Amino acid sequence: MYNVAIVGSTGNVGRKFLEILEERNFPIKNIYLFASKRSAGSYLKFKGQEYLVEETCEDTIKNKKIDIALFSAGGDTSLKFAPIFSSYGAVVIDNSSAWRMNKDVPLVVPEVNPEDLKNHNGIIANPNCSTIQAMVPLKALLDNYGIKRIVYSTYQAVSGAGMQGIKDLEDGLKGLEPKKFPYQIAGNCLPHIDVFLENGYTKEEMKMIEETRKILHSNDLKITATTVRVPVLNSHSESINVELNSPFELEDIFKLFEKTEGLTVYDNLNELKYPTALNVSGKDDVYVGRIRRDFSLDNGLNLWVVADNIRKGAALNAVQIAEVLIKNEWL
Ligand code: A2P
């Protein structure tokens, strides 16, 4: 049994951590909830009991003998507090982008590269939500055919932008001004997630590119990405165009995906079966459909990949990382 802390417990992902830990009957001795000063003193429910939310600071951390700290409180909080939790003996699993590209920090999707967890130094990074869901089918393709190039186009839900992202969609439907997004999201699509960089890409797009290379251990993979915020409450959808190194039969791709852990094939055009954000919300697996050949190039394949961005894209993936650490005694 373990002492588990949740940092950012009052947020969208933080609350989902609680739900998933309860659902999976995670072996918890004590649970400790942290957030900012703003919500310190409030209470959250876990397994039918109320738990106090405390301010995140060294004083509230130090005497708790925390084994595992699940973080989802933004990059600045992670940069500051992950090393502090780690210095008091906790293994931090961080949902922000702060540590992901640090070479001493494993970046892990448990179905894809669990062995990278073995040599952690007390901080482990949970990949970006859009990256996580893409990795599950792409790893299977990489291992069986090799990958030459990937083109990502995403359709990302507002829940990925936290509580205020959801509120902006609700407010926009009432004609109120947005606070989180630069323009109204209701009835709109914004090709702008996270900040713009000098190369003209957004940080979200570069995260997908760089994190994919790190997780798949393929530094020279050719990848491009366009990430778009859409007026969907929850679950990210992605069009993934992939050029494989070797020829394939479509039916073999279906067979491969059907036996891939963490992936559900939902693809039957006669029955109008393809994954959608509404179908997939609340599910643990990544869903793939619209599996078809890209006729415009040799060995080209198109996929439509949908996952619950708060579950598999965030909280669930982090809890699965903790489960792998426990199972292998890598804590
Ligand atoms: P708080 O409720 O006190 O603001 P979301 O992205 O869904 O909005 O959630 C962000 C989470 O991160 C919330 O739990 C929020 O707590 C927490 N948080 C924000 N800033 C800090 C901080 N400086 N220290 C600790 N937690 C923070």
Question: In angstroms, what is the span from residue 130 Cα to ligand 1's centroid?
Answer: 21
Question: DSSP character for 311?
Answer: I
pTM for the predicted model, two decimal places: 0.97
Closest by CA position to 158, among listed 39, 12, 17: 12
Rounded to 10 deg, the angle between the 316-327 and 12-23 helix axes is 50
Question: In angstroms, what is the span from residue 7 Cα to ligand 1's centroid?
Answer: 8
**Domains of the chain listed by start with CATH number:** 2-126+314-327 (3.40.50.720), 130-309 (3.30.360.10)
Per residue in 271-310, pLDDT (tens digit) is 999 999 999 999 999 999 999 999 999 999 999 999 999 9
Per residue in 123-181, pLDDT (tens digit) is 999 999 999 999 999 999 999 999 999 999 999 999 999 999 999 999 999 999 999 99
Question: In angstroms, what is the span from residue 73 Cα to ligand 1's centroid?
Answer: 5
Tell me the H-state helices in the chain: 12-23, 58-61, 75-87, 129-145, 162-173, 203-215, 250-258, 277-280, 316-327
Per residue in 9-61, pLDDT (tens digit) is 999 999 999 999 999 999 999 999 999 999 999 999 999 999 999 999 999 99
38 labelled ligand-binding: yes
Closest Cα to atom 19 of ligand 1: 73
Q: How many C-beta neighbours within 10 Å does residue 210 have?
A: 18
Tokens of 259: 């036996």
Q: Average pLDDT of the chain?
A: 98
Those residues with Cβ within 8 angstroms of residue 258's Cβ, 6 or more apart along the chain or in another chain:
265
- CA atoms of 87 and 21, how far apart (whole Å): 24
- CA atoms of 318 and 24, how far apart (whole Å): 13
For this structure, is 189 an active site residue? no
The pLDDT score that the predictor gives to residue 115 is 98
Task: Read off the pLDDT band of 72 (50, 70, 90).
Answer: very high
218 labelled ligand-binding: no
39 labelled ligand-binding: yes
Share of the chain above pLDDT 90, in %: 100
**Ligand 1, atom nearest to 10 Cα:** 14
Share of the chain above pLDDT 70, in %: 100
